[in-house]
Amino acid sequence: MVAVALGLGLAAFGCDEKPTGPAPARFASVKKRAQPAAVAFCDKSYPPSGDGARRYVPAPLRPFGQPPPKVKGWTWLNVWATWCKPCVEEMGVLSRWREAFTREGVAVDFELLSIDEASAQPALEDWSTKNLPGAIRWLRAEEDLAPFLETLGADKNASIPIHALIDPQGQVRCLRVGAIHEQNYGAVKDLLTQTP
């Protein structure tokens, strides 16, 4: 009982100072984890041509909104749904990145490919009135999703959001399965400004 009380008493005086100096030798093997999200963005990368290259094949779409624009630069494809919390949360990040790319002269067209069911049309129409990073496209049917994901190089059961970066020649160059984060901006900009 005394040991428990002593432990609780010591816990109240926990260390809240920042470390100074090197760790003692017995802790030399303890390393701070690297933050790979700040460096790497793509889960899969593909070359622009040759072995391993992957040509982008657009998904079959339902009629919705305006027809896809004629792309002069990169295309950022975002596979999302109105019910997907991480997808919705990252729309603000994508909008800020679109504005930053525009300011920096990086030509990127954002396409938001919704995988919502037919009953979600009112929600998608509401979303189309918001300040989104790009135009909403709507997948034709649920059975079209798995084959489309496989054309991108994603597992047919992959979770959304999914991001694909397509170069000006129509080649998929980068695939990310999962949400994006502010610290990914530098890695993405490096990819989009390289010569394909």
Q: What is the 3-state secondary structure (H, E, C) of the chain?
A: CHHHHHHHHHHHCCCCCCCCCCCCHHHCCCCCCCCHHHHCCCCEECCCCCCCCEECCCCCECCCCCCCCCCCCEEEEEEECCCCHHHHHCHHHHHHHHHHHHHCCCCEEEEEEECCCHHHHHHHHHHCCCCCCCEEEEECCHHHHHHHHHHHCCCCCCCCCEEEEECCCCEEEEEEECCCCHHHHHHHHHHHHCCC
Query: Greater confidence, 48 or 38?
Result: 48
The residue-averaged pLDDT of 162-168 equals: 96
Confidence at residue 72, expressed as pLDDT on a 0 to 100 scale: 75
Contact predicate 35/101, CB 8 Å: no
Average pLDDT along the chain: 81
With a cut of 90, say whether residue 64 has pLDDT above it: no
Domain architecture of the chain: domains with CATH: 52-193 (3.40.30.10)
Q: Sorting pLDDT into bands at 50, 70 and 90, what band is 52?
A: very high
Question: The whole model's pTM is what?
Answer: 0.77
Strands 74-80 and 162-166: antiparallel
